[in-house]
Amino acid sequence: MSAPPTQPTVTEREAREVAEAAREQDWRKPSFAKELFLGRFRLDLIHPHPMPPDEDAQRGEEFLAKLRDFCETKIDSARIEREARIPDETIDGLKELGALGMKIDTKYGGLGLTQVYYNKALALVGSANPALGALLSAHQSIGVPQPLKIFGTQEQKETFLPRLARTDISAFLLTEPDVGSDPARLATTAVPDGDDYVLDGVKLWTTNGVVADLLVVMARVPRTEGHKGGITAFVVEAGSEGITVENRNAFMGLRGLENGVTRFHQVRVPAANRIGPEGAGLKIALTTLNTGRLSLPAMCVGAGKWCLKIAREWSAAREQWGKPVAFHEAVGSKISFIAATTFALEAVLDLASQMADEDRNDIRIEAALAKLYGSEMACLMADELVQIRGGRGFETAESLAARGERAVPAEQILRDLRINRIFEGSTEIMHLLIAREAVDAHLSVAGDLIDPEKSLSDKAKAGAQAGAFYARWLPKLVAGPGQLPNSYSEFKHEVDLSPHLRYVERTARKLARSTFYAMSRWQGRMETKQGFLGRIVDIGAELFAMSAACVRAELLRSTEDHGREAYQLADVFCRQSRIRVEELFGRLWTNTDDLDRTVVKGVLSGTYAWLEEGVVDPSGEGPWIADATPGPSTKENVHRPIR
């Protein structure tokens, strides 16, 4: 058995090829968001709003009632924050409720909840304490159950899912000390040895890793005779010999998070525990995240609802200059933003979740947009709540209680939410991921034209294909229903939402034209224009949110008691969103992107080092990135399974 290799060295092109190979290449089902980026507003794909079957809704509501009682009576969020640990009895209580198996089929002992009700449950638990929401999400959204559900063998499902539904906590291990969003450099190895693989390496930020019983581990299998090799997924028993949890990490928020550093040294894993074929690990990870990402916006929705509640109660009680602060415009505008944005985030989440349940549409872009938009907007809402609360917003709940005031953890929610802009794909990576999917149709027909590696004959063939595609596509971007005054009239009631849908239709075509112009202008350099691509994606996110908000408002108008109020919130959100969209369009072509690159070069070369004078650096000593050389652990094992 050969020694494990050191950190792989890869070029930018090689890294891109690894990521591209892991992408789902085909679009077998329609996608509302994909069509939106192509300038086609397919309202028929989301309206009328899809609804869960009555049986699923009843089962979901019954569980939510039990979970709410548990959250109100058994979860002590202040204790979790104070002790920086979730009490074992709290986790045991969640196990007894069946919360570990919310997404696991009933035939394996799970609750079999739909994505819609799973997300409602996460929003509820996350509002009680975000670290608990993260524990349940990491276990089911990206941990062992989801990849097994999609890619596992029947034997694997029968072996592991009953444990995961009731007793065993799982974790997902991909990131390494020197490998984040560039998995081509993955250094953990799985060397075949008879009927086993032998794992060596170090994994960082293993959420749930400190308490996990089962792990999904991504490791590189070397290519040898009889072995295709490549990044591969394994189910690993967390108590296996050679596994050491070397550290329980601590963060600015989510203080109860059981997140660690896990070292593998000569860990034997049966080949029967491999998920899918060799080399399919990244594809499994990305496919798992297609719906797994919806767990983060679920908790962002819960946070928005809580922010709105606190803002309402506090702003009515606190008086300044003879009236409640809510009626001062500077504060009132913040409350309006929180209310309208919470409504839109819930609309995006429920729509994407219901589409995931129905499985009629490909929601990879919708889920990514929900994660991106939810994580960004929730941080803004929490920041506005802290501002509304003033000094009390900056003060800890414990300090407020000590001096006799209501213990409102506003500063905690701001800290806890901040990680969502990094978890499961940072905002910057999400921009690139969504942009790649959004321009897929263009690259499919014209990619060879801008690929320097392609031959002249390949480019000629691509030119013919591109000419035919754009001859059909471009004329359709000139006019559409958004220019007709009576379009979408079914959304015209006491409050009229039809102008907003017409705006979305017109703006989708404008967005597609802007993307085409940029591709024509920059061609092969398009992928380096990350500022431009990020703004394109942000515009698409706003258009998706506006569409979801209008469709949800119409659903509530036709089925529930809050239709008028829902229309009001959708109207306000769309008006706020349109202002952001117009600003983003302006920044597509008027920005400092080129100047920024010049400054960055100067900063890194030391040209501006004089600007750093006059301060001291309180940072400690040590390397920027910890050594992750494979080998036996020299540290105490802090793994503590909860039994």
Q: What would the pLDDT profile of 608-639 be if each residue is shown by its tens digit?
A: 999 999 999 999 999 999 999 999 999 999 99
Q: Distance between CA 433 and CA 285 in Å, rounded?
A: 14
Are 568 and 516 spatial neighbours (Cβ–Cβ below 8 Å)?
no
Radius of gyration of the chain (CA): 25
Residue found under tokens 């909840």: 113
- Of the candidates 181, 238, 168, the one whose C-alpha atom is nearest the C-alpha of residue 210 is 238
Cis before 48? omega within 30: yes
The pLDDT tens digits for 105-153 are: 999 999 999 999 999 999 999 999 999 999 999 999 989 999 999 999 9
Q: What pLDDT shows up at residue 153?
A: 96
Contact call for residues 364 and 290 (beta carbons, < 8 A) = yes
Query: pLDDT value at position 206?
Result: 94
Buried b (16+ CB within 10 A) or exposed e, 524-548: eebeebebbbbbbbbbbbbbbbbbb
DSSP 173: E
Orientation angle between helical segments 410-418 and 364-389, nearest 10 degrees: 150
pLDDT at residue 185, as a whole number: 84
Cα 261 off chain centre by: 22
Q: Which letter does DSSP use for residue 140 in this model?
A: I
pLDDT at 468: 81
Contact 219/190 with Cβ under 8 angstroms? yes
Q: Which helix (H) or strand (E) holds 489?
A: none
Q: What is the pLDDT of residue 5?
A: 44
Structural contact between residues 303 and 126, judged by C-beta atoms closer than 8 angstroms: yes
Q: Which helix (H) or strand (E) holds 259?
A: strand 259-270
Q: Give the torsion through C-alpha atoms of 558, 559, 560, 564, to 10 deg.
A: -10
Question: For position 1, what pLDDT does the model report?
Answer: 44
3-state SS, residue 436: helix
Q: Nearest to residue 40, comparing CAs of 560, 581, 543, 638?
A: 543
Alpha carbon distance 455, 461 (integer Å): 10
Catalytic positions, written as ranges: 424
- pLDDT for the residue numbered 466: 76
- Tell me, what's the pLDDT at 274? 97
Name the residue with tokens 């499902």.
Answer: 157
Query: From CA 614, how far away is CA 474, in angstroms rounded?
Result: 56
> Residue 284 has what pLDDT?
92
The pLDDT value recorded for residue 183 is 74
Residue numbers of the chain with a pLDDT score lower than 70:
1-25, 180-181, 445-452
Q: What is the pLDDT of residue 37?
A: 95
Query: For residues 38 and 442, what is the distance between their CA atoms, to the nearest angstrom?
Result: 9
